[in-house]
């Protein structure tokens, strides 16, 4: 059976999935063996750092969030700030 992977960022007591477009950008960068990439979400530019496995706002690197690449069916709070209970 095929295993599907997804990128997640840290929330309060749980993980959020990146939205599908951003997830693809991150996965493409990861597959190209980049050490970092930048993504634009909610009007903010974030640095995704594959070496330290965290993301932070480029304008305010003090607020860091852990990230992980995990199976797409791993437990999550929702997608990009939309609670799982409100999806589908």
Binding site for ligand V3L (CB under 6 A): 9, 11-12, 16, 18, 41-42, 44, 46, 57, 63, 65, 77, 80-81
Residues contacting residue 50 through CB under 8 Å, at least 6 positions apart: 29, 30, 34, 35, 36, 37
> What number of other Cβ atoms are within 10 A of residue 7's Cβ?
23
Judged by beta carbon, residue 6 or residue 18, the one nearer ligand V3L is: 18
Tokens of 48: 């995704």
Judged by beta carbon, residue 1 or residue 12, the one nearer ligand V3L is: 12
- Least Å distance, CB 65 to ligand V3L, is 5
């Amino acid at each position: 059976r095929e295993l599907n992977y997804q990128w997640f960022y840290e929330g309060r007591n749980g993980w959020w999935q990146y939205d599908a477009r951003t997830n693809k950008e991150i996965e493409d960068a990861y597959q190209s063996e980049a050490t970092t990439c930048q993504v634009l979400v909610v009007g903010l530019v974030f640095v995704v750092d594959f070496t330290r496995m965290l993301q932070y706002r480029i304008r305010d690197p003090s607020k860091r969030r852990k990230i992980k690449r995990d199976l797409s069916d791993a437990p999550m709070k929702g997608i990009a700030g939309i609670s799982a209970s409100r999806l589908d």
